[in-house]
């Protein structure tokens, strides 16, 4: 239903410890709802029995599925079975349990990597399944496409109010800064920080630096999720973009300026570029009445501040 009221409701954030989940917990504090989270280590979302037992005990009225096995390009290339299996199980278990326990609203979160490698840019929602996926993350993409289809199927067969949102590349507080498994923005923040502190003359950037990426500050996504929970009830997934697009080289130069790294950038062409571009067409969400607030520079400054608090 549209115009869904969160006030007085029990809203479960599945995956509350991750970067997206913690941003959702922050954002829901300004709603008059009860935010439900599973205790640390209490709930393995890949275990259907455990999910059902937790849902029956905690009785959520609504759920935002922010839980996922996520990672950057090298993590996706190295762990294909983990990326497809874990994400399929999380989506299947939480969506099935939401149906069986008659939850009023379900929001499933995917990723812009669901679109074909050479989709028209910017990518509209209608581009889904119109061409081959990007090989470096097709495992994750297939699992997220399955989640979209699960929501559509339960909506059509049972009338459940299940919706999906596809955010662009996210960054912000609580990000993963491990240099092997993280996404590019946190990786470059940490690399430049370490290099500046150590006085290193260069920082290595993976790939050619030519791919283009769109980035969204995670608190903007959290705000978009609350907006969609309240205002959207439709069969089709909704892109959540920021229109803040930059080349990897441009991103590295922007981060160097913010961090104060004055050395040289070295490009490691043995590492994959991945998809050349994945800019979302955000017009559907804009027509509903939502747009992102943070510029890339403001968001990176906030993300760097958050990173620095983890270094103290």
Active site residue 140: yes
Among 265, 263, 264, CA closest to 249:
265
Q: What whole-number distance in Å separates Cα of residue 207 and Cα of residue 187?
A: 14
Contact between 116 and ligand GFB per CB under 6 A:
no
Query: For ligand GFB, which stretch binds (CB under 6 A), given 11-19, 32-40, 70-78, 158-166?
Result: 70-78
| Number of residues near ligand GFB (by CB under 6 A) | 24
* Token couple for 312: 């103290």
Contact between 303 and ligand GFB per CB under 6 A:
no
Q: Give the nearest distance from C-beta 187 to ligand GFB in angstroms.
A: 4
Among 66, 103, 150, 205, binds ligand GFB (CB under 6 A): 205
Contact between 172 and ligand GFB per CB under 6 A:
no
Task: Give Cα 46 distance to the centre of its chain.
Answer: 19
Q: How many residues does the chain have?
A: 312
Among 76, 92, 97, 239, binds ligand GFB (CB under 6 A): 76
Which one from 4, 85, 140, 304 is the annotated catalytic residue? 140
Among 92, 93, 97, 111, binds ligand GFB (CB under 6 A): 111
Buried-state track 92-109, b at ≥16 Cβ within 10 A, e below 16: bbbbebbbebebbbbbbb
Among 146, 85, 132, CA closest to 275:
132
Q: Give the nearest distance from C-beta 1 to ligand GFB in angstroms.
A: 30
Q: What whole-number distance in Å separates Cα of residue 37 and Cα of residue 175?
A: 19
Contact between 207 and ligand GFB per CB under 6 A:
yes
Q: What whole-number distance in Å separates Cα of residue 160 and Cα of residue 67?
A: 20
Q: What whole-number distance in Å separates Cα of residue 140 and Cα of residue 78?
A: 12
Residues that bind ligand GFB (CB under 6 A): 72-73, 76, 111, 113, 136-137, 140, 169, 182-184, 187-188, 205-207, 211, 213, 248, 271-274
């Amino acid at each position: 239903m549209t115009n869904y009221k969160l006030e007085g409701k029990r809203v479960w954030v599945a995956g509350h410890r991750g970067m997206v989940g913690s941003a959702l917990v922050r954002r829901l504090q300004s709603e008059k709802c009860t935010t439900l989270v599973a205790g640390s280590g209490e709930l393995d979302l890949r275990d259907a029995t455990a999910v059902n037992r937790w849902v029956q005990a905690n009785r959520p009225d609504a759920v935002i599925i922010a839980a996922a096995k996520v990672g950057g390009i090298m993590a996706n290339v190295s762990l294909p079975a983990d990326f497809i299996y874990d994400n399929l199980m999380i989506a299947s278990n939480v969506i099935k349990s939401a149906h069986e326990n008659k939850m009023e609203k379900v929001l499933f979160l995917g990723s812009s990597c669901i679109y074909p490698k050479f989709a028209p840019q910017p990518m509209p929602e209608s581009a889904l399944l119109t061409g081959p996926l990007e090989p470096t993350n097709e495992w994750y993409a297939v699992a997220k496409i399955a989640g979209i289809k699960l929501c559509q199927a339960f909506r059509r067969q049972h009338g459940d109010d299940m919706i999906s949102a596809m955010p662009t590349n996210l960054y912000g507080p609580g990000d993963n800064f491990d240099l092997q498994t993280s996404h590019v923005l946190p990786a470059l923040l940490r690399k430049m920080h370490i290099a500046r502190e150590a006085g290193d003359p260069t920082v290595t950037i993976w790939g050619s630096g030519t791919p283009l990426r769109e980035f969204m500050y995670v608190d903007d996504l959290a705000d978009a999720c609350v907006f969609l929970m309240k205002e959207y009830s439709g069969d089709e997934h909704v892109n959540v973009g920021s229109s803040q697009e930059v080349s990897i080289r441009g991103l590295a130069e922007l981060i160097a300026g913010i961090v104060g790294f004055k050395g040289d950038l070295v490009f490691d062409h043995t590492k994959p570029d991945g998809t050349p571009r994945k800019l979302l067409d955000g017009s559907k969400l804009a027509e509903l009445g939502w747009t992102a607030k943070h510029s890339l520079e403001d968001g990176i400054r906030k993300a760097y501040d958050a990173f620095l608090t983890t270094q103290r």
